[in-house]
Amino acid sequence: MTQKETVYVVSDSVGETAELMVKAVASQFFGQEVQIKHFSYVEDKQDINNVITVSKYSHSIIAYTIVLQDLKQYLDDRAEEEGILAVDLMYPLMDAFTQKFNMQPNREPGQMRKLDENYFKRVEAIEFAVKYDDGQEVRGLKQADIVLIGVSRTSKTPLSMYLANKQFKVANVPLIPEIPPPEELFKIPRKKCIGLIISPEKLNDIRRERLKSLGLTNSANYASLDRIFEELTCAENIMKKIGCPIIDVSNKAIEETADIILAMFNKRGSFA
């Protein structure tokens, strides 16, 4: 039976990075079955002493990712005293960054975990924006950080996705004269709601281009100025009834509108 060698993975965070690196190296030694044992969230010298105690009698290697300088130095010193091979998996690359970019590392444990959390928050927000796009599932309005309302072609969907990439949960609701707005729209805090308006001429141009891209004629009611005036009047009446802020997006890029919204919400502390 092949003997399993042991590698102690030591980290002041979860230790995922160290484990992946150990597995990558171990895979190159086909005759060796490596047993990985974890010491995660190491935060003081006693934790280091515990690692040294269990590893010095087991013919093992310590592979570590410790960014706190005092703990790293203590582990190096104790390992040398006991004749244990301890490998700092981060130091060579961290030292290269320091030399190349003339910067010092933060030396804060758990930074990768924070990056992962940000990534998953962004994914969650994007999924939310897709699920609650264009008035779908109105129950999501209560869960949203931001609710966008406006007539068709006022950039509600692309604006929702842009804000979702900044980790905000955004729902949007189209305002159509023939369809009463959902009751939930009047029950959410009005500070979460943003009305989007646009000039009739600009909207007419946008809708005409939209019809052209679909192979339809410009005579469709969707792009007529009479219909557009009716929709905009209805939408503005609903926005006034809600009492929400209104942004004219006629000549604004998505990024510009998003900046206005975020500045507005941050000023009022709605994201606290």
Binding site as annotated, residues = 150-157
For residues 20 and 23, what is the distance between their CA atoms, to the nearest angstrom?
5
Are 20 and 49 in contact by the 8 Å Cβ rule? The answer is no
For residues 177 and 180, what is the distance between their CA atoms, to the nearest angstrom?
7
How distant is the alpha carbon of residue 161 from its chain centre? 12
List the binding residues for ADP.
Answer: 150-157
Helix extents (H) in the chain = 16-26, 45-55, 69-82, 91-101, 111-131, 156-164, 200-213, 225-242, 254-268
Burial zone of 7 (CB within 10 Å; 0-12 exposed, 13-18 middle, 19+ buried): buried
For residue 2, give the DSSP letter: P
Are 128 and 170 in contact by the 8 Å Cβ rule? The answer is yes
3-state helix, strand, coil split of the chain in percent (to 5) is: 50, 15, 30
Nearest C-alpha neighbor of 144 from the set 192, 183, 190, 186: 192
AA letter at 136: Q
Helix (H, G, I), strand (E, B) or coil at 33: strand
Tokens for 232? 């905009």
